[in-house]
Amino acid sequence: GDQVEQSPSALSLHEGTDSALRCNFTTTMRSVQWFRQNSRGSLISLFYLASGTKENGRLKSAFDSKERRYSTLHIRDAQLEDSGTYFCADMANYGNEKITFGAGTKLTIKP
């Protein structure tokens, strides 16, 4: 089955720093979606990409359009409210509409 590898598994940063989270897929993907889950358990969709890059404030995500096996989420100028667990989820390119979640990156922002 599909394998979604997220790295790093955990990351601790100080406020104001930048970071990059990564998502690798073992097969080509139709699309990728990034989520953030807060401490209360709510899952918020950050980006949905079928190709290219998207940006929203301090967050930017890219999906490798050529190989379709790699995606990144960049966080610029990290703030305390960015803390949470970040998941990437992908939809395979072979007609299966299900999405598969990575194991997540637990991000902690320190003052």
Residues near another protein (CB under 8 A) are 30-31, 33, 35, 41-43, 45, 48, 50, 87, 89, 91, 97-104
What distance in Å separates the CA atoms of residue 99 and residue 85, rounded to the nearest whole number?
18
Taking the least distance from each CB to another protein, the nearer of 27 and 45 is 45
The DSSP code sequence of 40-54 is: T--EEEEEEESSEEE
Angle (nearest 5°) at CA 74 between 104 and 65: 90
Residue 48 backbone dihedrals phi, psi, to 5 degrees: -125, 120
CB of 50 to another protein, least distance (A): 8
Taking the least distance from each CB to another protein, the nearer of 39 and 81 is 39
CB of 89 to another protein, least distance (A): 7
Taking the least distance from each CB to another protein, the nearer of 77 and 101 is 101
CB of 85 to another protein, least distance (A): 9
Q: Cα 51 to chain center, whole Å?
A: 14
Taking the least distance from each CB to another protein, the nearer of 2 and 76 is 2
Nearest to 15 by CA among 106, 85, 111: 111
CB of 33 to another protein, least distance (A): 6
> Tokens representing 38?
């807060």
